Amino acid sequence: MAKELVINQTHSECRIALVENGDIIDFLIDRDTNNTAKPSVGNIYLGKVLRVLPGMQSAFVDIGYERAAFLYVDDAYIPTLEEQRDMAKRLVEREKELAQKRERLGQTIPDELSTYSDTVDLKYRADIKIQDFLKEGDEILVQVAKEPISTKGPRITRHITLAGRHIVYMPLIEHVGVSRRIENDEERERLKGILETIRPEGKGVIARTVAEGQSHKILKNDYNLLVKIWKDTSKNNEKVSAPKLIYQDLSFTQRALRDITDEDVTKIVVDDRSNFKQVEKFINRYLPSLKGKVELFDSQTPLFEHYNIDVEIERALSNKVYLRSGGSLNIDQTEALVSIDVNTGKFVGKRTLEETILKTNLEAVKEICYQLRVRNCGGIIIIDFIDMEKEAHREQVYAALLEALKKDRAKTNVLPISGLGLVEMTRKRTRDTLTRMMCQSCPYCEGTGKVKSVSSVCFEILREVMKSVKEESSSKVSIFAHPEVCSQLTSEDFFIIENLEESLGKQLTIRADNSYHIEQYEIFVN
């Protein structure tokens, strides 16, 4: 399968898409690329604790950004080496229990996280209180785990990790791990053996997915580079006072090359000469397997238009997505969750209703997983599949969903289809959604997607007129409103106005104003 990395640069905006056979596997966008003040994931800061909140078991930390960073107790506490080893033993026992449970239930329970950084030992969580080891005014070394999203500041952690091409280095945590995407047991054990030989006691190393099949020398070189970066960072920390940026991670383009490219990428296409040189330099030093695969795109047709990516982005910004069969998805994103509703639409099938429903749901599975990646939806996601009577069909759709999610770089946790045909799942949120990045709330409806009907506003005005007249003794009433509202009051509802004038003994004057919102009106009693 042809896999290409497409990099488009327009002034201060950089867009990167990983495309496979016309489908977007991953899409990243960064605006104001020269803004070094924005806290990007991976940046390390010397921060100053502003407030400790015992009730929330969290703290706000000043890292020099306009909004304070959020630090939760699990990310703030660094266990002792003895505690870490105790946690590691518990984690091994827990993974064995989960493996036995999956074997017994036949993969009907969701997969659970197994790396140290994603696992919190309940024993220590119960005993640790953030106010016992953190206080206002403390200067602490922290790393950005999640970039600012909407009105929220960045989320930070004290569990420092430095990501290389093949491994992740954890200077403060003792742990050896292998990406769960590497499924071969022999390869996992081989990599663990290599990692054990290159890391000193008390340090942690995790093999990334691209480490599969790599030699001891390559992993060792990657490790040595990360150790050097950490030593330089530690020296910088001793020379400054908080808040201060201590280590800045790679540029946006370099992070994309490091994180989303792999050996299957056949071509990297860039439409900006400066970016082209940067990409070639990075590849020559860190990704020698991709040498000779970088191309400078020089055409009158815009790069993203040439690859049909702009069309796919527009689809990802719409609430309704049509399936090839004629069915559709309704996707609604809120602050709390993402809801996805599957509909058959015009698709009627060729055989039975049950087969039509199954085919639509299976097609929807692929499109849902695709849309989640492109839109970068995160948090709680509820999928309302079309009701299936047969248990075998529900299991088939659930299995297809798990399989399709394997392409997703973000961590997901999926529960089986419920009796109501719903799937509850979570997807790790690390950055803003595509909608938040590219859209803003409608200034007219203020993001609700609805306004009162003209009729509703008309009757509201009439009620307000009756109320105002009772309170005043004047003989004239002036109504200022939106032209559409005035039009209905002087045409369809004119008989009401006449009756109102007669019953109240008042003269009503109606005047249209184009500057008024459709729900806005003013009543003056003269």
Q: What is the pLDDT of residues 345-383, one digit of tens each?
A: 765 555 678 888 899 999 999 999 999 999 989 899 999
Residues 64 and 115 reside in one and the same domain: yes
> Per-residue pLDDT for 106 more than 70?
no
Last residue of a domain, one of 248, 266, 295: 248
CA 385/CA 112 separation, integer angstroms: 24
How far is the first Cα of the chain from the last one, in angstroms, to the nearest whole number?
76
CA 52/CA 491 separation, integer angstroms: 63
CA 207/CA 167 separation, integer angstroms: 5
Instruction: State how many domains the chain has.
Output: 4
203 vs 181: which has the higher pLDDT: 203
Map 380-446 to HEC letters: EEEEECCCCCCHHHHHHHHHHHHHHHHHCCCCEEECCCCCCCEEEEEECCCCCCHHHHHCCCCCCCC
The chain-wide mean pLDDT, for the chain, equals 86
Residue 242 lies in a domain: yes
By percentage, how much of the chain surpasses pLDDT 70?
Answer: 92
Residues 229 and 302 reside in one and the same domain: no
The DSSP output letter for 135 is -
> Per-residue pLDDT for 119 more than 90?
no
Residues 290 and 306 reside in one and the same domain: yes
- In tens, the pLDDT along 212-256 reads 888 999 899 889 989 988 998 888 888 888 899 999 888 889 888
What's at 66, amino acid-wise? E
Residues 220 and 74 reside in one and the same domain: yes
Helix 353-375 / helix 309-316 crossing angle, nearest 10 deg: 110
CA 332/CA 230 separation, integer angstroms: 43
Q: At 10, is the pLDDT very low, low, confident or very high (cuts 50, 70, 90)?
A: confident
Residues 49 and 173 reside in one and the same domain: yes
The DSSP output letter for 119 is -
Residue 6 lies in a domain: yes
Residue 443 lies in a domain: no
Residues 277 and 155 reside in one and the same domain: no
Last residue of a domain, one of 385, 407, 438: 438
Residues 118 and 28 reside in one and the same domain: no
Residues 97 and 232 reside in one and the same domain: yes
Length of the chain counted residue by residue: 526
Residues 14 and 58 reside in one and the same domain: no
- In tens, the pLDDT along 59-95 reads 999 999 989 999 999 899 888 888 878 877 777 777 7
Using alpha carbons, list the distances in angstroms from residue 253 to 145, 183, 276, 310.
Answer: 19, 29, 10, 19
Q: What is the CATH number of the domain that holds 181?
A: 2.40.50.140
Those residues whose C-beta lies under 8 Å from the C-beta of residue 243, and which sit 6 or more positions away, are 45, 46, 47, 48, 62, 63, 64
Indicate the pTM of the whole model.
0.74
By percentage, how much of the chain surpasses pLDDT 90?
Answer: 47
Residue 13 lies in a domain: yes
CA 350/CA 360 separation, integer angstroms: 12
Residue 447 lies in a domain: no
Last residue of a domain, one of 438, 466, 495: 438
- Nearest in space to 44 (alpha carbons), one of 192, 324, 250, 299: 250
Residues 183 and 230 reside in one and the same domain: yes
Q: Which domain holds residue 9?
A: 1-33+251-316
519 vs 525: which has the higher pLDDT: 519
Residue 329 CA, chain-centre distance (Å), reads 19
The DSSP output letter for 167 is E
The DSSP output letter for 335 is S
> Per-residue pLDDT for 118 more than 50?
no
Q: What is the CATH number of the domain that holds 310?
A: 3.30.420.40
Q: At 420, is the pLDDT very low, low, confident or very high (cuts 50, 70, 90)?
A: confident
> Per-residue pLDDT for 405 more than 80?
yes
- Nearest in space to 164 (alpha carbons), one of 253, 266, 258, 94: 258
Q: What is the CATH number of the domain that holds 462?
A: 3.40.1260.20
What's at 141, amino acid-wise? L
CA 203/CA 212 separation, integer angstroms: 21
pLDDT of residue 480: 95
